[in-house]
Structure 1
Amino acid sequence: MNDPLTQTELWTPLDIESEGTGGADELVARIDDMGPEEVGNLLTQEKGLVFRGFEITPEELDRVLDRLLPNRLAYVHGNSPRTKVGSNVYTSTEYPQEFTISMHNEMSYAHAWPARLAFYCQVQPGSGGATPVLDAARWLDSLDAEVREAFAGGVRYVQNLHDGFGLGKSWQDTFETTDRAEVEAFLEPTGARWEWKADGGIRVASVRPATTRHPVTGAEVWFNQSDQWHPAGLGDDTAAALAQILPEEDLPQNVTFADGTPIPAEYVVQIRDRGLEHAVDVDWRSGDLLLIDNVLLAHGRRPFTGARRVLVAMSD
């Protein structure tokens, strides 16, 4: 096994600092001077770009995102609690601020996922609240061979989405529709299996690979959310409390190996902890932007105090 800590210390996302008055005019001009191909090449090379000192305002955000994310996507089938605040712009998460969000590649559980993510800090936190990022190839290397081999056959995700009342997200929020036919039309080409339940909810099961390869570099990366979907990833007390309320098959989300075999809790804890241990924190100032390649980099969130507000948008 390679030493992931040493490797991680050699890498950080590229900081791009304002050289003038800042604002969207300067940043858009610099992006336009580079051109979309060079921006794409730089992002692939660096994995993440942090735009600092431009002090982008919320009113200017769309202009910048139009350059960095030319085809912004809706957060359909997303499992994180978010609020839509603009043209396919969302709150980054509404998970309670005192908790850490472990490392993950956005929608790696899905049939298709965004290629790029952009995070925008509208309000910097009082303390903490960094967005950790992690080279997903190094995350894979950091795991014990036993764990990598166990996941070689992939994983099976199960979502139980309620009809408006219950734990987790409703199917209406998840798929951004109230029409069952639209949900089925979305799921049909994804290879998922689903069933509408008597209480009005839906159970969706999907088998996905545990790793993927970057379409340009060919790098193999850890690319699944087993530690976030597994009860052991929640911690012993929370997992025990959920077990008292619901049987495993009715949890809002759950994960097994592809053949339905349970994933050992110690594997999940190793995946979660090594990801967080070897991540690099991106600290926020109001007006900062972070652009990441969603295959090459996983991301998360550190706990914080104050009124942190970070928005996210994504593109193919």
Structure 2
Amino acid sequence: MAEEASFFSEVVGLQQQKSDDGVVFPAVLFPNPNASKPVQLTDAIKANKPWLDSLLHRSGAILFRGFPVSTASDFNDVVNSSGYEDFPYGAGVLATRTKVCDRVYTANEAPPDQMIGFHHESSHASEFPSKLFFFCEIEPGRGGETCIVLSHVIYEKMKGKHPEFVEQMEEKGLTYSRVIGEEFDPSSPVGRGWKAAFMTDDKSVAEERATELGMKLEWIGDEVKVIIGPMPSFRYNEVRQKKTWFNRLAVSYGGLKDKLNDDPTKAVVFGDGEQLPLDAVNDLLKMLDEECVALQWCKGDLLLLDNLAVLHSRRPLLAPPRRILASFCK
């Protein structure tokens, strides 16, 4: 770690877990306090890209803390310095975000007092980002933690506890459905109406775009039921040679209710339409909470996640303000 030591100081024990094989999750990097001049994160990333890629591969997540990054523009510069290709945020995405600048968006704008359950970004889609950046522009007052958990750990534990359930998920896949209105609903954790989601006010064009994205639309007046699937429940992470819990089951059950969607048992079912066993789902939600690391954000923090390896969630914000920005990479 000779070259990287001139830029980074690695810390162990701060909001972290340690696996049996000694891997620390997440890795936490601070500026090297003995550096001859202030460490700029963009320079540090460019100079140590192979080592950081290796660290992300081992840990699944890297938290950069204490670096002089304070604005959305600074954050954008850091993302660009990574060399990762941009993953555009486009049609068919239901979560509400606002573009801030270039490659930077707000994190999910669901009402801050609501939970956003564990998920891999765009796991329901045929294409999804491989890496995610998050940046804390305004530190939360109280609550609002971002929780992260290694997906292969959840897969292995659920397979051990509910092998028949996991086998059914493997064989049948999962089908997701959600009813959305025409326009933005600020009270909903999803928020986006179908016009924004499919970037049109023409129902026939929306149907065409949905079909291209592997979705089906069923119109209910001016509202629409969006059906996705059956989709694979798991993915094989070839880099780590492990199966991951790559689905939206937990987020569908763990806090996506609104006036049009109040029954999570209808939001996700097996690919053949059969309902999921509630005991297994409840064990999953409990397991995710027990196994996760809940990150307490500090202003200026950057979190880099391997989206193929790590599930993430957001706990309710108990005391505002909070502003987290996000960027997605291929």
Q: TM-score range by the shorter chain?
A: 0.7 to 0.9
Residues 1:313 and 2:315 aligned together: no
CA distance in 1, matches of 2:108, 2:135: 12
Q: Contact conserved, 1:197 with 1:203, CA < 8 A, in 2?
A: no
Equivalent residue letter for 1:175? F
* Structure 1 equivalent of residue 310 of structure 2: 297
* Structure 1 equivalent of residue 247 of structure 2: 224
Report how far residue 170 of structure 1 moved.
0.7
Structure holding more helix per residue: 1
* Structure 1 equivalent of residue 114 of structure 2: 99
Instruction: Please report the TM-score for the alignment, with normalisation by the length of structure 1.
Output: 0.82
Residues 1:146 and 2:146 aligned together: no
Show the 5 A alignment for 1:112-191: 112-143=127-158, 144=161, 145-152=163-170, 153-164=172-183, 168-178=191-201, 183-184=206-207, 186-191=209-214
Q: Contact conserved, 2:136 with 2:323, CA < 8 A, in 1?
A: yes
Query: Which one of 207, 225, 230 corresponds to residue 207 of structure 1?
Result: 230
Q: Which runs of 5+ in 1 are unaligned?
A: none
Q: Contact conserved, 1:119 with 1:290, CA < 8 A, in 2?
A: yes
User: Could you say what secondary structure the match of 1:49 adopts?
Assistant: strand
Report how far residue 183 of structure 1 moved.
4.1
Equivalent residue letter for 1:265? L
CA distance in 2, matches of 1:140, 1:163: 37
Report how far residue 258 of structure 1 moved.
0.4
Q: Percent identity?
A: 26
User: Could you say what secondary structure the match of 2:267 adopts?
Assistant: strand
User: Could you say what secondary structure the match of 1:119 adopts?
Assistant: strand
CA distance in 2, matches of 1:234, 1:302: 10
Report how far residue 271 of structure 1 moved.
1.6
Query: Which one of 27, 33, 39 corresponds to residue 14 of structure 1?
Result: 27
* Structure 1 equivalent of residue 215 of structure 2: 192
CA distance in 2, matches of 1:151, 1:125: 37
Q: Which runs of 5+ in 2 are unaligned?
A: 1-16
User: Could you say what secondary structure the match of 1:151 adopts?
Assistant: helix
* Structure 1 equivalent of residue 74 of structure 2: 60
Q: Contact conserved, 1:121 with 1:310, CA < 8 A, in 2?
A: yes
CA distance in 1, matches of 2:199, 2:132: 20
Kindly provide the CA deviation profile for residues 214-248 of structure 1, in whole angstroms up to 9, marking residues without a partner as x: 14222100011113224xx449xx6xx96xx7796
CA distance in 1, matches of 2:315, 2:223: 36
* Structure 1 equivalent of residue 45 of structure 2: 31
CA distance in 1, matches of 2:255, 2:47: 46
Equivalent residue letter for 1:163? E
User: Could you say what secondary structure the match of 2:42 adopts?
Assistant: helix
Query: Aligned residue pairs: how many?
Result: 298
Q: Contact conserved, 1:192 with 1:207, CA < 8 A, in 2?
A: no
User: Could you say what secondary structure the match of 2:25 adopts?
Assistant: coil
CA distance in 2, matches of 1:257, 1:108: 16
Equivalent residue letter for 1:142? K
* Structure 1 equivalent of residue 7 of structure 2: none
Cα pair distance change 1:157/1:16, threshold 3 Å: same
* CA root-mean-square deviation: 3.0
CA distance in 2, matches of 1:65, 1:182: 34
Q: Contact conserved, 2:42 with 2:81, CA < 8 A, in 1?
A: yes
Query: Which one of 51, 66, 89 corresponds to residue 104 of structure 2?
Result: 89
Q: Contact conserved, 2:235 with 2:245, CA < 8 A, in 1?
A: yes
Report how far residue 315 of structure 1 moved.
1.2
Q: Contact conserved, 1:90 with 1:311, CA < 8 A, in 2?
A: yes
* Structure 2 equivalent of residue 71 of structure 1: 86
Query: Which one of 278, 284, 290 corresponds to residue 297 of structure 2?
Result: 284
Instruction: Please report the TM-score for the alignment, with normalisation by the length of structure 2.
Output: 0.79
